[in-house]
Chain A
Amino acid sequence: MIIEIGMTKDKALEELFLAQTPHFTDSDAFMASLTKRLDAVEYLKQYQERTIRRYKMAMVVAFVVGIISGAVTIALILSTPADVPLFTFQVQTGFLLWLAQNSRLFAAAALSLLMTAGIFSIISNVQEIMHMHMYLEKHRV
């Protein structure tokens, strides 16, 4: 019964709605305001796209620098004899001597730190880019 009623139009209500159809005299002002908002949206969109590009560039640079510095350090470690320290100091103090004697260990630790930092940077950039993409998708309705 409800369904049947819902399908037909109530003439009186229809006429009432038709009589109440609003006419707007400020269409130009409305469109001008909308254009301003669209300009702001366009600016923000471009800013976000620029930021994403910058993050991607930073990721590529981190990757390349990581590969090159890692390769150079490994090559340096491998090209020197095992019993010769990787680096020595002109001044021979106890600490510096200890540092030079354990130069391979320190080089390996520095390399690991560099790689860790590189991986962190890449992961955070990827997350940031994904977050931005998700935000943009979400606001596309």
Chain B
Amino acid sequence: MTRETFITHVEREQEALRGFLLALCCGNKDDADDLAQDALVKAYLSCAGYQDKGKFRSWLFKIAYNTFLNHQKSLKPTVCIDTVPVEALPQRGSGEGAFSDLYLALSTLPPKERSAITLFYLSGYSVKEIAQITDTSEAAVKQQLSRGRDKLRERLIIDN
């Protein structure tokens, strides 16, 4: 794949990719865009080995997902969200960078559940495709979706 082809593909897919990472970063746009840029650079470096089978977006999402997980691992160890006092969590309506209800609820999910939920509901991927993107079994994805959805529902009901 040439650089021009790569850029053309990226121009078409960048909004979806940024949206996906924005959800994974729970609405933190700066972090999401940094991760998107990192993922795209990685994709560019490996695009020589990419065989175009009409799955460029899935391929990009897979790289973005791995970049996100690596980024999460590189962060300082954090306290489990359930043990954090409510006042320490980002608050709704607290100014320009305020988290929406959904992003706030997403921030309570572990990264893998958050990824599965985002890929399923925001990006519209099937369980099988999510399993391919996240390199896990379909059963594991279904479990992540089920748990994530229950937690999200619970959190959204509490918030509302």
Contacts and interface: CB of A to CB of B under 8 A. Distances in A.
A and B bound? yes
Interface of A: 2-3, 5-7, 9-10, 13-14, 16-17, 20-24, 27, 30-31, 33-35, 37-38, 41-42, 45, 139-141
Secondary structure call for the A interface: helix
Nearest to B100: A20
A90 to B, nearest CB: 63
Secondary structure call for the B interface: helix
Contact of A31 (B10, B44, B45): B10
Given A14-B121, A31-B11, A2 B41 contact: no
Interface of B: 3, 7, 10-11, 14-15, 18-19, 22-23, 33, 36-37, 40-46, 48-49, 63, 66, 100, 102-103, 118, 120-122, 127, 139, 141-147, 149, 152-153, 156
B149 A27 contact: no
Contacts of A41: 41, 44-45
Contacts of B122: 17, 20-21
B126 to A, nearest CB: 9
Contacts of B42: 139-141
Q: Which 4 A-B pairs have the closest CB atoms?
A: A6-B142, A140-B46, A17-B121, A6-B146
